[in-house]
Amino acid sequence: MYQLEEKIWFWVLAVIPVIILFFLLLQVWKRHAQKKFADKQLLKRLSPDQSLFKSVLKLLVICLAIASLSIALVNPKVGTKLETVKREGVDVVFAIDVSKSMLAEDIAPNRLEKTKQLVTQIINNLASDRVGIIAYAGKAFPQLPITTDYASAKMFLQNMNTDMLSSQGTAINEAIDLSKTYFDDEEETNRVLIIISDGEDHGEGTVETAKEAYEEGIRIFTIGVGQTKGGPIPIKKNGIVLNYKKDSQGETVITRLDENTLKAIAKEADGVYINGQNTNEVVETIRDILNNMDKTEFEAKQFADFKDQFHWFLVIALALLFLDIFLLDRKTSWLKKLNLFNENF
């Protein structure tokens, strides 16, 4: 396991293609200028010790030195020890609606982006709880298994979009069924499923499925995104609205927040419904709910004792720069004797 402390220094690598470009332009200019002075055979007689290979080698050494210096500035760290630690918390699974209706912009910037904001802020306020992510539309799909790696959770979250599932619709019942596979029966942790959706449910028996999940120890909390008055579903290309989704009669489809369905699901599973309009209120409500739950101890493996590795790359960079001092653009007599670079030919 490794960590990169200062990733911004990777931008130093952008200097390398610039140096290579200048080198190529310089070679073209030199060749053009030499042709005006004398032909190739005469130049070879006038400058018998000139070495193009050595110039290329110097360029390679300088580029490698810059790359090593860049990595040294980034300061990679390597985990030297894998520890099993005890943690206490709740297992929280987020079921996120990625159906096309989540593109409606009745809540800024749109329902799906608002959902990502809500989940990100909830994760930021967690202590030692484990999280998992499910994506669902017409079908449910496991996105991230239960983990304590919040950074990975947020990365997977940001990559979610309405094109990731080809089957359209909103089958909340399938998301609830899938969540049952996320929890470990042996650990007996408190289990929470948080459904974030506009509530438009095209599945069957969702409320009954929620009741069955509660009987298996899963409490379900629902968060509604959107507005009850609804809004159209934009069809965009390169960020520009081309049209709005229409039904078979050619009428513009208006998708509305269905709070009743979300409230019924939460009620059957000993949870609560939360309107997602105000991010702070949602985060505080979820935080209070989780804090009031009994925390169950579980084991988690994690790397410890991360050690800096920048010094290795710094030594390499300095060694390469030192080598560059001795790499002249001219052929050298001792290298001729060794014939390492075929300079006798």
- pLDDT at position 323, please? 83
DSSP string of 224-237?
A: E-S-TT-EE-EEEE
Residues 47-98 pLDDT 10s: 555 566 777 888 898 999 999 999 999 888 876 665 666 667 889 999 999 9
Residues 153-202 pLDDT 10s: 999 999 999 888 877 777 899 999 999 999 887 777 789 999 999 988 76
Percentage of the chain with pLDDT > 90? 48
Mean pLDDT of 318-328: 79
Q: What does the domain layout of the chain look like in residue ranges?
A: 2-75+309-338, 85-300
- pLDDT at position 345, please? 41
Topology given in CATH for the domain delimited by 85-300? Rossmann fold (3.40.50)
Whether residue 204 is predicted with pLDDT greater than 60 in this model: the reply is yes
Alpha-carbon span 264 to 276, nearest angstrom: 17
Residues 208-225 pLDDT 10s: 999 999 999 999 999 999
Whether residue 103 is predicted with pLDDT greater than 50 in this model: the reply is yes
HSE of 79 in the Cβ direction (CA atoms, 13 Å)? 10
Alpha-carbon span 333 to 344, nearest angstrom: 10
Percentage of the chain with pLDDT > 70? 82
- pLDDT at position 207, please? 92
3-state SS, residue 72: helix
When the pLDDT of each residue in the chain is averaged and rounded to a whole number, the result is 84
Mean pLDDT of 293-310: 69
Mean pLDDT of 98-111: 92
Alpha-carbon span 183 to 192, nearest angstrom: 9
Helix axes 172-179, 206-215, angle to 10 degrees: 10
